[in-house]
Amino acid sequence: MSDRLPVKKTYKLFIGGAFPRSESGRTYEAEGQNVARASRKDARDAVKAARAAQPGWAAATAYNRGQVIYRLAEMVESRLEEFSLLCSGPDEVAAAIDRIVWYAGWADKLPQVLGGSNPVAGPYFNFTVPEPTGVVAVLAPEEPPLLGLVSRILPPLVGGNSVIAVASEARPLAAIELAEAIATSDVPGGVVNLLTGSAAELSPWLASHMDVNAIDLAGANGNTAELERAAAENVKRVVHGRADVQSPWEIAAFLEQKTVWHPMRL
């Protein structure tokens, strides 16, 4: 019988494709583990990483984004047993994988469904084209810890946005496992950033940050009005997301509609 002590896993943040500890050095206990407790400086670092990564992600072809997201589903599938231990079980993991695949399939269909050609009274072509909003902050629902997070980060991600997500405070381990799957998939560093810790502490800084273009208040837990006021400072788009919704209109909530006029040769 071995008398060696096991090496316990250190649960860190996921910012810019790397796994830093919180700059504050703080941790908190969740699900029997010590987990990094993100500070507002960590939130600012995540926004900076997301802003740097967003143009490249938006510039990728829609087909390529779909393939990258599908690859994420493959990586979660390969860790099905580990994920099952960190959430409600294999059914939740299977639902999360299916949701990732479903949203991946929408990546190259958005312009046809959400855009279009508009009739105008004049010698012009008039087109509406969906474009990403930019940097999106997501407050993930407390439950379910994996499916809730997946349901809220995939809609902005598919549309070409970069994401900063605050994981479930009580059950963050599934989010950290997801970060490891993202890191070993083809998602470019900084496109998805995951923070663990207190949503009540981090959300006001994300809502008021002038370089965040939209915020999803799915996990706001009654703090909605204050966050909406903070978001109004830079006319930030506010979305009230839900974990049980799967729809292309969830993607549309994080897109801007650009109208283009083009002269028609007579």
> What SS3 state is found at 31?
coil
167 within 8 A of 149, measured Cβ to Cβ: yes
* pLDDT, average across residues 55-67: 95
The CATH number of 27-263, from 3.30.70.890, 3.30.1360.120, 2.40.37.10, 3.40.605.10, is 3.40.605.10
d(CA 200, CA 219): 10
Query: How confident is the model at residue 266, as a pLDDT?
Result: 59
Query: How confident is the model at residue 116, as a pLDDT?
Result: 66
d(CA 145, CA 196): 12
Our CA angle for 231, 241, 223, nearest 5°, is 50
Q: In three state form, how does the secondary structure of 108-168 look?
A: CCHHHHHCEECCCCCCEEEEEEEEECCEEEEECCCCCCCHHHHHHHHHHHHCCCEEEEECC
118 within 8 A of 259, measured Cβ to Cβ: yes
119 or 137, higher pLDDT: 137
List pLDDT tens digits, range 39-55.
999 999 999 999 999 99
At 193, the amino acid letter reads: N
Q: Which residues contact 118 (CB under 8 A, 6 or more apart)?
A: 126, 127, 128, 259
Banded pLDDT at 187 (limits 50, 70, 90): very high
Alpha-helical (H) ranges within the chain are 40-59, 62-78, 80-86, 90-104, 110-114, 147-158, 173-183, 199-208, 224-231, 248-252
List pLDDT tens digits, range 77-126.
999 999 999 999 999 999 999 999 999 999 988 887 777 677 777 777 77
* pLDDT, average across residues 165-189: 94
Query: How confident is the model at residue 120, as a pLDDT?
Result: 77
| pTM of the entire predicted model | 0.90
CB atoms inside a 10 Å sphere around CB 2? 5
The domain limits of the chain are 27-263
218 within 8 A of 203, measured Cβ to Cβ: no
Query: How confident is the model at residue 7, as a pLDDT?
Result: 78
